[in-house]
Amino acid sequence: MNNPGFSGPLERVNDCCWRIPSSYKTGMRVDGLIYASDELIEHVRSDQAAEQVANVAFLPGIQVASLAMPDIHWGYGFTIGGVCATDPNEGGVISPGGVGYDINCGVRLVRSKLFHKDVGPHIETLIEEMFRNVPCGVGRAGKYHFNHKELRQLMQEGPTWLKQRGLATDADIEHTESRGRLDGARPDFVSERALTRGMKQCGTLGSGNHFMEVQVVDEVFDEEAAEVMGLEQDMVCVMIHSGSRGLGYQVCDDALKTLRGVPEKYGIDLPDRQLACAPVASPEGEQYVGAMRAAANYAWCNRQLLMWQAREVFETVFGQSWQELGMSLIYDVAHNIAKFEEHAIDGGRKKVWVHRKGATRAFPPGHPEVPEQYRQIGQPVMIPGDMGRASWVLVGQEGSMQQTFGTTCHGAGRQMSRTKAVRNAKGRRIDQELRARGVIARSRSWKGLAEEQPDAYKDVNLVVDVVHRAGLSKKVARMRPIGVIKG
């Protein structure tokens, strides 16, 4: 089936930003703005992602512009890499599609006192042990089981609840976005179906693009920020990418079912059913917001438990406690979420619902929501790349508050469809190719590895260059993978 490219207008704003004028489609309330270099904008023209940026501009109450980060790619409804802010006082809506099925999918980075020379000789054992102990892939239940009552408490409090069980520390919580707890969570709005899906999945990686990766600091770009984070050249870290698992998917699914016919009820005209939304101040909107916040808190617990298991694996392999190994959490960021935040808009200050669909909060130095340890350098941002090349650690910059509601990119962004990636991998052993590049990869399925091969993604370095130049966030360190487990 052919996938036509985008033939609409893309006007250059500057060397990092392109505009889709609101005149492009009747019904657009604001312009679309896409952050991209000359090279990356060619990817944008190749599919319908830009059309989706234009479609998001239809949402009632949208402020300033419908934005997209340089890792933009074609999603369903919202583009992946999309950001939009809506003002409830201007009829602003909340849209589950602007968060995605994987509510609070995100990334965390754990440092260690180990260096490449310490871990290199043991990397095969380490990855094997990780693959055996960290549940990943389809149908693998976790070792932590929670009944419905426990799940409701967990969704109310986030990782703070895990602390009472000895599975989280104060420092872990302090270094998690929003301290791992969105206030106003309504676990009672989460359906029985969602709870059932979530019972055995907290602490499991899942499948698709989710991973647990052992990385080394390849190059430091900002010595001061790296020092504050405790990062040094060649230091070994663990990056974890996962979200709210089946529980979150079901919360989104339930919300979209509830929203059938609702936009019409409120007189909202939408170009795509997947953009379904409701005014924030409506029973349907409030229902979704409460359930979404609960699912987000679940996701933070999921990544916390994944990290806990990674620490245990290191303890087994290196024969020291995780504290002795210095495995402290640097930071955890959400990149599929909607949050109620205050921003400077049209010369005043407004509280708006910022939807980040494949986009990461990147608050600048001095922002009160940045943990005290990082307040002088800005909020740490983790950008996973692909499993062959690189990932990045950035910090938020003032430009993000001025341009993108405190937001930057979230990853490399796919450039190859899954079907094409599998075709491209026919007859190849991706695991052996990665080994030749110095990366030990274990996956539950050949197809999974084929779909996630490095070539399926844009070069993350190009994406990060754009957000760095645009002043949305600043390069701190580039990370190189040495081992990865996938679902």
Partner 1 sequence: MYETFEHTADLGLLVEAADLNSLFAEAGRGLLSILVEDVDAVLPRHEVTIEVSGTERDYLLFDWLSELLYRYETEQLLFSQFDVTTGPNGLTAIARGESLDAERHEPTHEVKAITYHDFVVEPTANGWQAKLIVDI
Q: Which residues contact 342 (CB under 8 A, 6 or more apart)?
A: 349, 350, 351, 352
Site for partner 1 contains 73 (CB under 8 A): yes
Say how far apart CA 56 and CA 404 lie, in whole Å: 15
Nearest to 447 by CA among 467, 421, 470: 421
Site for partner 1 contains 197 (CB under 8 A): yes
Q: How many residues bind partner 1 (CB under 8 A)?
A: 46
For the CB of residue 210, give the shortest distance to partner 1 in the complex, in Å.
9
Say how far apart CA 194 and CA 409 lie, in whole Å: 29
Q: Which residue, 420 or 469, has its beta carbon nearer to partner 1?
A: 420
Site for partner 1 contains 367 (CB under 8 A): no
Site for partner 1 contains 443 (CB under 8 A): no
The mark string for 250-289 relative to partner 1 (x by CB under 8 A, - otherwise) is x-xx--xx--x-----------xxx-x-------------
* From 95-103, 142-150, 152-160, 392-400, span contacting partner 1 (CB under 8 A): 95-103
Q: Which residue, 231 or 275, has its beta carbon nearer to partner 1?
A: 275
62: exposed, middle or buried (C-beta count within 10 Å: 0-12, 13-18, 19+)? buried
Locate the DSSP E strands across 294-412: 329-334, 336-345, 348-357, 360-361, 380-383, 391-396, 407-408
One of 73, 343, 410, 468 is an active-site residue; which one?
A: 410
Residue 460 CA neighbour count, 13 Å, CB half: 23
Q: Residue from 32, 60, 82, 137 that binds partner 1 (CB under 8 A)? A: 137
130-155 as b/e, with b when 16 or more CB fall inside 10 Å?
bbeebbbbeebebebebeeeebbebb
* From 15-23, 32-40, 74-82, 306-314, span contacting partner 1 (CB under 8 A): 74-82
Q: Which residue, 252 or 313, has its beta carbon nearer to partner 1?
A: 252
Is 410 annotated as catalytic? Answer: yes
Say how far apart CA 483 and CA 471 lie, in whole Å: 32
Tell me which residue has tokens 């609840």: 161
Say how far apart CA 306 and CA 329 lie, in whole Å: 12
Q: Residue from 61, 75, 142, 364 that binds partner 1 (CB under 8 A)? A: 75
Site for partner 1 contains 47 (CB under 8 A): yes
Q: Which residue, 117 or 260, has its beta carbon nearer to partner 1?
A: 260
Which residues are catalytically annotated? Answer: 410
Using CB under 8 A, list all residues that contact partner 1.
1, 3, 47, 49, 73-77, 80, 100-102, 137-139, 193, 196-197, 206-208, 246, 249-250, 252-253, 256-257, 260, 272-274, 276, 414-420, 444-445, 447-448, 487
